Amino acid sequence: MRFVLLIALAACGSKQPVVVWSTSGTEVAERIEVLSSGHITYSTTVNGVPDKRDEVILTSDQVEEIDELFRNQHVCELANDPAYTPTADEGKTKLVLAFPDQRCTVELWNHEWNHGRAQPISETMRSMRPLRPHAGRVH
Protein backbone atom coordinates (compact mmCIF):
# COMPACT_ATOMS: atom_id res chain seq x y z
CA MET A 1 0.00 0.00 0.00
CA ARG A 2 2.83 2.40 0.83
CA PHE A 3 4.32 1.85 -2.66
CA VAL A 4 1.05 2.81 -4.36
CA LEU A 5 0.77 5.91 -2.19
CA LEU A 6 4.31 7.00 -3.11
CA ILE A 7 3.56 6.62 -6.82
CA ALA A 8 0.39 8.69 -6.40
CA LEU A 9 2.30 11.40 -4.52
CA ALA A 10 5.04 11.46 -7.15
CA ALA A 11 2.46 11.85 -9.89
CA CYS A 12 0.84 14.75 -8.07
CA GLY A 13 4.19 16.44 -7.50
CA SER A 14 5.01 16.45 -11.21
CA LYS A 15 1.99 18.62 -11.90
CA GLN A 16 2.90 21.61 -9.76
CA PRO A 17 3.18 24.98 -11.52
CA VAL A 18 6.76 26.25 -11.63
CA VAL A 19 6.01 29.32 -13.76
CA VAL A 20 2.85 31.40 -14.10
CA TRP A 21 2.81 34.43 -16.41
CA SER A 22 -0.39 36.45 -16.33
CA THR A 23 -1.44 39.82 -17.70
CA SER A 24 -4.19 41.97 -16.25
CA GLY A 25 -5.74 45.36 -16.64
CA THR A 26 -6.16 45.18 -20.40
CA GLU A 27 -9.00 44.08 -22.68
CA VAL A 28 -7.18 40.84 -23.55
CA ALA A 29 -5.70 38.94 -20.60
CA GLU A 30 -3.18 36.16 -21.12
CA ARG A 31 -2.08 33.33 -18.84
CA ILE A 32 0.77 30.89 -19.40
CA GLU A 33 1.24 28.18 -16.80
CA VAL A 34 4.24 25.85 -16.94
CA LEU A 35 4.04 22.71 -14.81
CA SER A 36 7.12 20.93 -13.51
CA SER A 37 6.19 18.04 -15.84
CA GLY A 38 6.68 20.34 -18.86
CA HIS A 39 2.97 20.67 -19.60
CA ILE A 40 2.08 24.26 -20.58
CA THR A 41 -1.40 25.71 -20.63
CA TYR A 42 -1.90 28.93 -22.58
CA SER A 43 -5.20 30.78 -22.26
CA THR A 44 -6.65 34.18 -23.04
CA THR A 45 -9.78 36.02 -22.06
CA VAL A 46 -11.34 39.02 -23.77
CA ASN A 47 -13.15 41.35 -21.39
CA GLY A 48 -13.27 38.51 -18.85
CA VAL A 49 -14.78 35.97 -21.28
CA PRO A 50 -12.68 32.85 -22.08
CA ASP A 51 -11.35 33.14 -25.62
CA LYS A 52 -8.50 30.72 -26.37
CA ARG A 53 -6.94 27.75 -24.68
CA ASP A 54 -4.07 25.65 -25.97
CA GLU A 55 -1.51 23.26 -24.58
CA VAL A 56 2.14 22.57 -25.31
CA ILE A 57 4.56 20.03 -23.83
CA LEU A 58 8.21 20.78 -23.03
CA THR A 59 10.93 18.29 -22.20
CA SER A 60 12.35 18.24 -18.69
CA ASP A 61 15.57 19.73 -20.14
CA GLN A 62 13.60 22.67 -21.52
CA VAL A 63 11.96 23.29 -18.12
CA GLU A 64 15.45 23.26 -16.54
CA GLU A 65 16.65 25.73 -19.20
CA ILE A 66 13.83 28.11 -18.23
CA ASP A 67 14.82 27.81 -14.56
CA GLU A 68 18.46 28.52 -15.45
CA LEU A 69 17.59 31.49 -17.68
CA PHE A 70 15.49 33.08 -14.94
CA ARG A 71 18.24 32.49 -12.37
CA ASN A 72 20.93 33.94 -14.69
CA GLN A 73 18.76 36.99 -15.39
CA HIS A 74 18.18 37.48 -11.64
CA VAL A 75 14.46 37.69 -12.33
CA CYS A 76 13.56 37.67 -8.64
CA GLU A 77 15.43 40.97 -8.25
CA LEU A 78 13.40 42.79 -10.92
CA ALA A 79 11.29 45.70 -9.69
CA ASN A 80 9.31 48.58 -11.14
CA ASP A 81 11.46 51.43 -12.43
CA PRO A 82 10.39 54.52 -10.40
CA ALA A 83 11.12 56.70 -13.46
CA TYR A 84 8.75 54.69 -15.67
CA THR A 85 5.35 56.23 -16.40
CA PRO A 86 2.79 53.71 -17.66
CA THR A 87 0.39 54.60 -20.45
CA ALA A 88 -3.20 55.34 -19.44
CA ASP A 89 -4.51 51.91 -20.48
CA GLU A 90 -1.39 49.86 -19.74
CA GLY A 91 -1.87 46.71 -17.71
CA LYS A 92 0.55 44.74 -15.58
CA THR A 93 2.12 41.35 -16.04
CA LYS A 94 2.89 39.11 -13.10
CA LEU A 95 5.48 36.34 -13.14
CA VAL A 96 5.32 33.77 -10.35
CA LEU A 97 8.21 31.30 -10.01
CA ALA A 98 7.97 28.20 -7.86
CA PHE A 99 11.08 26.24 -8.81
CA PRO A 100 12.74 24.35 -5.96
CA ASP A 101 15.77 26.69 -6.12
CA GLN A 102 13.98 29.99 -6.78
CA ARG A 103 10.60 31.26 -5.65
CA CYS A 104 9.29 34.77 -6.15
CA THR A 105 6.59 36.96 -7.61
CA VAL A 106 7.50 39.84 -9.90
CA GLU A 107 4.91 42.27 -11.23
CA LEU A 108 5.86 44.95 -13.77
CA TRP A 109 3.97 47.21 -16.12
CA ASN A 110 3.54 45.42 -19.47
CA HIS A 111 6.05 47.62 -21.34
CA GLU A 112 8.65 47.33 -18.56
CA TRP A 113 9.01 43.66 -19.51
CA ASN A 114 10.43 44.77 -22.89
CA HIS A 115 13.62 46.37 -21.50
CA GLY A 116 16.85 45.40 -19.75
CA ARG A 117 17.09 42.11 -17.87
CA ALA A 118 13.31 41.66 -18.15
CA GLN A 119 13.38 41.44 -21.96
CA PRO A 120 14.76 37.87 -22.29
CA ILE A 121 12.20 36.73 -19.70
CA SER A 122 9.37 38.32 -21.67
CA GLU A 123 10.65 36.88 -24.96
CA THR A 124 10.90 33.41 -23.43
CA MET A 125 7.36 33.55 -22.07
CA ARG A 126 5.96 34.90 -25.33
CA SER A 127 7.70 32.10 -27.23
CA MET A 128 5.41 29.68 -25.39
CA ARG A 129 2.34 31.07 -27.11
CA PRO A 130 0.78 28.61 -29.56
CA LEU A 131 1.79 28.95 -33.19
CA ARG A 132 -1.78 28.37 -34.37
CA PRO A 133 -3.60 31.67 -33.82
CA HIS A 134 -7.07 30.21 -33.18
CA ALA A 135 -6.25 26.77 -31.78
CA GLY A 136 -8.22 25.65 -28.78
CA ARG A 137 -10.83 28.39 -29.06
CA VAL A 138 -13.43 28.00 -26.33
CA HIS A 139 -17.05 28.23 -27.52
pLDDT tens string 22-71: 998 878 899 999 999 999 999 999 998 999 999 999 999 999 999 999 99
2 domain residue, yes or no: no
pTM exceeds 0.85? no
132 domain residue, yes or no: no
56 domain residue, yes or no: yes
114: containing domain: 16-126
27 domain residue, yes or no: yes
Q: 38 or 132: whose pLDDT is higher?
A: 38
30 domain residue, yes or no: yes
CA–CA dist 76, 45 (Å, integer): 27
CATH for 27: 3.30.1560.10
7 domain residue, yes or no: no
Closest CA to 69 of 9, 16, 120: 120
Number of domains composing the chain: 1
1 domain residue, yes or no: no
